[in-house]
Each structure stands twice: as structure tokens, then as C-alpha cells.
Amino acid sequence: MSRYITLLILVCGCARNEPANIAVNPPMNYVVLEQSDFDIEYHKAFETLDLKTEPEKQRFRDVITEVQDAVEAALGKKWKKPDDFEVGWDFNYCYHACGGIYSERVFCQDYVTTVHAALQTVDKRRVWTYHTVCEITTNPNAPTIGESIESWGEFFIRGDTCYVNGSDMKPEWRTRLGCPK
């Protein structure tokens, strides 16, 4: 019996005074919406919070910085900023943050699961929306920015759901993000 307890302690990391991380991330659900339905769902993120005092506003600014930092740190462990991705640092007093994908190597399911996992660490209530535009650099030597990038669409993550703009993203691109056909 004690062998099994020792094994359990080692597996959980308790013998090294590390927190046991045995929680399993819930699976990502994908919802493909046409433009008008996508816009309706996306704009729910812009419901302004009723923050009346400066301390309330400062607490919220601290929270959004925490959300942005968590996403940027998680992505930064796998890809290079600003060539591959960027996290937006502007905000309103609502549960919304955003970023962009700029390289084809980042346009994958791992990006979606990385953002999802990062949000789970700071968004216990699952209220935040993280929106991503996909502006892939396809011709880096083009004379203008407009000629160097190609729009591959947009999506956002809220809770355990990835909402994809089906009017804007080709089916073969969706599958690269992990979205079933």
C-alpha cells in the first residue's frame, strides 16, 4: 500500500513541494457562425461594466493586464512576437481582449488550445472573450503591407467555446484550428 502512496506523491509532484496539477482542461467546443450571427455573439463581449469608483476601475485594469499577460506569456513560450503573433494592449471596461496571428506556423490548433489554457488560469468565471484576427504574411517582400498579408478570417474564444466566423474563414483553414468540418 505504501508503494502506491509514494508513487502517487511522486506523480503529483508533492515530493518536490510543487503543486499537483491533475486538473484536465475541458475540451474546446467549436461553433461556426455566419457573419451576422458571429457579430451578435461577438458583441456580447462589449457590454460595459458599471464601475463607479476609481478603485473599481483600477482593479479591472489590473485584471485585464493579468489576462493579457497570461495570453502573451503562454504564446511567447511557443512563438515569436511580433513576427508570429501579437496581443492587443488597448481595452475598454468590458470582458474583451484581442490579438492577431501573423504567421502560418501559428495558425493551428495549438494556438487555440494555448489561448484557451491561458484564459482558464485567469478567468475562473469564463466571462472573457479573446478575439483573434488572422492576417497571415504570405509575401513578406511585397511593396505594401496590403500586398504582403492575406486575411484568413477571425475567431474568438469565450469560456470553452471557439466561435469561428464562417463567412470569413474557409473550411480548410478552420480545420487547421481544430474545428471539425
Residue 122 has pLDDT above 50, yes or no: yes
User: Does residue 30 lie within any of the structural domains?
Assistant: yes
Mean pLDDT of the chain: 87
Number of domains in the chain: 1
| Cα separation, 98 vs 135, whole angstroms | 13
Q: What range does the domain containing 156 cover?
A: 26-176
pTM, 2 dp: 0.83
User: Does residue 20 lie within any of the structural domains?
Assistant: no
Please, are residues 42 and 131 in contact by the beta-carbon 8 Å criterion? yes
pLDDT digits (tens, 9 = 90+) for 56-75: 999 999 999 999 999 999 99
Q: In what order do the strands lie in the sheet with 85-87?
A: 29-33, 161-165, 149-158, 129-137, 96-101, 85-87
Backbone angles phi, psi at 137, to 5 degrees: -75, 110
User: Does residue 3 lie within any of the structural domains?
Assistant: no
Residue 181 has pLDDT above 70, yes or no: yes
User: Does residue 144 lie within any of the structural domains?
Assistant: yes
Mean pLDDT of 20-37: 77
Residue 25's pLDDT band (boundaries 50, 70, 90)?
A: low
Residue 23 has pLDDT above 70, yes or no: no
Residues forming beta bridges with residue 101, ordered by sequence position: 85, 134
Please, are residues 86 and 102 in contact by the beta-carbon 8 Å criterion? yes
Mean pLDDT of 95-110: 96
Residue 154's pLDDT band (boundaries 50, 70, 90)?
A: very high
Please, are residues 128 and 42 in contact by the beta-carbon 8 Å criterion? no
pLDDT digits (tens, 9 = 90+) for 134-152: 999 988 889 988 888 999 9
Mean pLDDT of 9-22: 35
